[in-house]
């Protein structure tokens, strides 16, 4: 299978998996072509309701990691955070099904409306992230399960990925005639990553309290209806880290102006959405002055880290050529460096 092909369930797989659940008569099964290509999904209409079945991507299919994520999922659900309900197996014994090397999860299907990139949506996404962090304040780490750790801040893996990009893109059509420019671009990104990581460390990152965070807070993992959050999805990346990393990544994801070819994306962020996200979060949670000051640098780290792994692995980000994405990242980093302090000083959150 090529890196661009979407994995799918085989003909004998679904009946075996679904036999572990009590859903009533299955009326229809439809391919659900969203999210990671490595994690196939189907929508199911059955006698007892509508569901979404997901097979975990192989890289995230360790049983203990999935069980930890499910503990977090059910904890925040009990605290009132809107989520897609996890469906237990027959006799309510488990929240996952493991067959050989595959792990499956079943969720209640949540109907939503298209994300409109509105200020109101950004504000509510910030509020719900605050509710998520509030719920995690009293989460007891499971003694029998390892706690995932690690994040996008100051990671050797990000630097290693950047250094491997030149060889990955060497045969890519988008690079033809731009080999020297790519070397300069990678050097710029390495220097920028080091600079912003150092800035965060100087603000006291190592002393900030840790808790379990969502670690992947973006519009694709938050469902909206009438511009209000109706469900938080994808707990695959939950881990122990600093809450401000969730805030910074969310502020980036909900304020980035992204449509069409990334090469044509504007340098700037949508400042109204940025402010709305932080205001929503700040209505429930208070960050220290040092954490607030670190947000632009953490946004820069997140922007670099998010694109490094897919480009190092496949040469692209989704359907977009890696070289063009990296050019966009450089422009946005330059804008953030010039405008980050102003963004934070004007934000009300």
Give the bridge partners for 250, in sequence order: none
Confidence at residue 173, expressed as pLDDT on a 0 to 100 scale: 59
- 175 compared with 51, residue with greater pLDDT: 51
Given a cut of 90, is residue 53 above it in pLDDT? yes
- Give me the mean pLDDT over the 146-161 stretch: 96
Kindly state the DSSP code that residue 83 receives in the 8-state scheme: B
Label residue 1 by pLDDT band (50, 70, 90).
very low
Name the nearest CA neighbour of 305 among 242, 347, 263, 248.
Answer: 248
- CB within 8 Å of 150: residues ≥ 6 apart: 239, 241
- Give me the mean pLDDT over the 247-274 stretch: 94
Give the bridge partners for 224, in sequence order: 113, 229
Strands (E), 71-111: 97-99, 102-108
Name the nearest CA neighbour of 298 among 207, 167, 202.
Answer: 202
Q: Give me the percent of the chain exceeding a pLDDT of 90.
A: 79
- Average pLDDT of the chain is 93
- Give me the mean pLDDT over the 303-331 stretch: 91
Confidence at residue 172, expressed as pLDDT on a 0 to 100 scale: 64
- Give me the mean pLDDT over the 114-142 stretch: 97
Given a cut of 60, is residue 2 above it in pLDDT? no
Domains of the chain, start order:
13-108 (3.30.200.20), 119-346 (3.90.1200.10)
Long-range contacts of 265-269 (CB under 8 A, 24+ apart): 265/328, 265/332, 267/331, 267/332, 267/334, 267/335, 268/335, 268/339, 269/332, 269/335, 269/336, 269/343
Given a cut of 80, is residue 138 above it in pLDDT? yes
Label residue 313 by pLDDT band (50, 70, 90).
confident
Give the span between the Cα atoms of 125 and 246, in whole angstroms.
12
3-class SS of residue 41: strand
For 69, phi then psi, to 5°, come to: -60, -40
Alpha helices in the chain (DSSP H): 13-18, 63-78, 119-136, 156-169, 179-202, 243-255, 271-282, 289-314, 322-346
Q: What is the pLDDT of residues 180-195, one digit of tens each?
A: 888 899 999 999 999 9
Confidence at residue 36, expressed as pLDDT on a 0 to 100 scale: 80
Lowest-confidence range among 23-27, 86-90, 162-166?
Answer: 162-166
Q: Determine contact, residues 301/197, Cβ cutoff 8 Å.
A: yes
- Give me the mean pLDDT over the 83-94 stretch: 91
Give the span between the Cα atoms of 233 and 97, in whole angstroms.
19
3-class SS of residue 320: strand
Confidence at residue 37, expressed as pLDDT on a 0 to 100 scale: 82
- Give me the mean pLDDT over the 48-59 stretch: 94
Confidence at residue 315, expressed as pLDDT on a 0 to 100 scale: 85
Label residue 4 by pLDDT band (50, 70, 90).
low
- Give me the mean pLDDT over the 236-261 stretch: 95
């Amino acid at each position: 299978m090529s890196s661009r092909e979407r994995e799918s369930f085989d003909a004998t797989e679904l009946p075996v998996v679904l036999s572990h659940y009590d859903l009533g008569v299955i009326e229809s099964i439809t391919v659900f072509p969203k999210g990671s290509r490595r994690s196939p999904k189907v929508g199911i209409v059955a006698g007892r309701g509508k569901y979404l079945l997901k097979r975990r991507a192989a890289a995230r299919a360790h049983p203990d990691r999935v069980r930890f994520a499910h503990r977090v999922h059910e904890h925040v659900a009990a605290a009132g955070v809107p989520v897609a309900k996890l469906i237990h197996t027959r006799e309510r014994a488990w929240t996952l099904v493991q067959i050989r090397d595959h792990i499956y999860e079943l969720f209640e299907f949540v109907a939503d409306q298209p994300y409109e990139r509105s200020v109101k949506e950004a504000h509510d996404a910030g509020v719900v992230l605050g509710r998520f962090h509030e719920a995690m304040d009293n989460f007891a780490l499971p003694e029998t399960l390892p706690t995932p750790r690690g994040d996008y801040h100051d990671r050797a893996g990000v630097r290693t990925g950047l250094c491997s990009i030149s060889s990955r893109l060497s045969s890519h059509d988008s690079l033809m005639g731009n080999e020297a420019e790519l070397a300069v671009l990678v050097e710029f990104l390495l220097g920028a990553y080091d600079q912003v990581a150092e800035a965060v460390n100087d603000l006291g990152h190592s002393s900030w309290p840790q808790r379990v965070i969502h670690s992947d807070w973006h519009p694709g993992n938050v469902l909206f209806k009438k511009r209000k959050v109706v469900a938080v999805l994808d707990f695959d990346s939950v881990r122990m880290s600093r809450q401000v990393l969730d805030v910074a990544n969310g502020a980036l994801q909900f304020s980035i102006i992204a449509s069409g070819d990334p090469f044509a994306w504007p340098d700037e962020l949508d400042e109204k959405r940025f402010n709305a996200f932080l205001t929503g979060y700040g209505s429930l949670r208070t960050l220290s002055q040092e954490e607030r000051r670190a947000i632009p640098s953490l946004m820069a780290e997140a922007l670099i880290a998010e694109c490094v792994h897919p480009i190092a692995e496949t040469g692209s980000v989704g359907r977009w050529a890696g070289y063009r994405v990296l050019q966009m990242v450089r422009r946005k980093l330059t804008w953030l460096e010039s405008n980050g302090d102003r963004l934070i000083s004007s934000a009300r959150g």
